Amino acid sequence: MAESRLLVDSNSSAVRPPSLPIQEPEVNIFLFYPNLIGYLRVILTIASLYYMPLHPRTCSLLYSTSYLLDALDGMAARYFNQETKFGIVLDMVTDRCTTSCLLVFLASVFPRWSIIFQGLISLDLASHYMHMYATLTMGESGQSHKNVNKSKSRVLNLYYSNKVVLFTFCAMNELFFIGLYLLAFSSPYLSPTLLQSTGNPASLSVGTPAAPEGSILFTSPWSAGAMEYARANKMDSTGPWILAVISFPVMLGKQIINAIQLVKASQWLAAGDLEGRNVRALKKAR
């Protein structure tokens, strides 16, 4: 019966019909393992934000777990060959939003330094957005934002190509902000108590038997005063201070890298604009 499937061409010679292209089974990108890990990171982040105002230990545990999963989703993507553009963007957006939310909280509990935290949020968002945009518009098709040529920036090339360097800088950056967050619940130097002692042992001060319940002082439990009162002297400050001091130099280096990334992305986009103007000028001259 196989001969009946043959066709006859104009020279009466038998030929076989062209084979149909093999189609891969349709897959659901949203259910890839690394993307599922990404969704779990989002859930953990939201949970950490819920506990952030008054429960430092629970919040820090959830926040840190979410960040550690950031390394796991990359490993899963490479192991299962499930690297996708959606996963890359989901990962970056989650990182930027998570850090920004923590910095917003720090700006509220340390109002004197709020302009610094606002500046760090702006630098982080601007540098990554411009770098991603420059990569998509100026780079080759399908190029990742982590593929930075040495000719463009040796610093960014080392930062993105070496996974140990990348993880260390990002992890220590987050640890510094977590250390500051914990100090908001423990350090009288950075977060002084609402009720200051006047030298009289019987005077009102947070943490002493003479201090009344917060509900007596603040009618609304969600007011700024009530929240600060509830956070005061909640835990020991030794561990948070050590964490903040050790991670500070690397955090500062991370901010310098963000600034370099912002400048290099701007220069790359400007070079593309200049090239485009030259091409249009040549076409107009012809």
The CA distances from residue 177 to 46, 54, 100, 104, 239, in Å, are 17, 16, 11, 11, 13
How many CA within 13 A on the CB side of residue 163?
5
End-to-end CA separation in angstroms for the chain: 65
Is residue 95 part of the annotated active site? The answer reads yes
Angstrom distance (rounded) from CA 192 to CA 217:
17
Query: Looking at residue 183, what DSSP letter applies?
Result: H
* Given the residues 73, 91, 95, 124, the one annotated as active site: 95
Q: Is the dihedral of CA 134, 137, 140, 146 positive or negative?
A: positive
The label of the residue with tokens 């949970």 reads 47
The CA distances from residue 54 to 49, 220, 228, in Å, are 10, 15, 9
Is residue 241 within 8 A of residue 179, CB to CB? The reply is yes
Q: Is the dihedral of CA 109, 189, 180, 158 positive or negative?
A: positive
Q: Looking at the DSSP assignment, which residues form a beta bridge with residue 14?
A: 8
Q: How far is CA 192 from the centre of its chain?
A: 30
Angstrom distance (rounded) from CA 200 to CA 196:
10
Residue 194 tokens, joined: 């609402």
> ∠153-158-161 over CA atoms, to 5°?
110
Angstrom distance (rounded) from CA 186 to CA 178:
13
Active site residues: 95
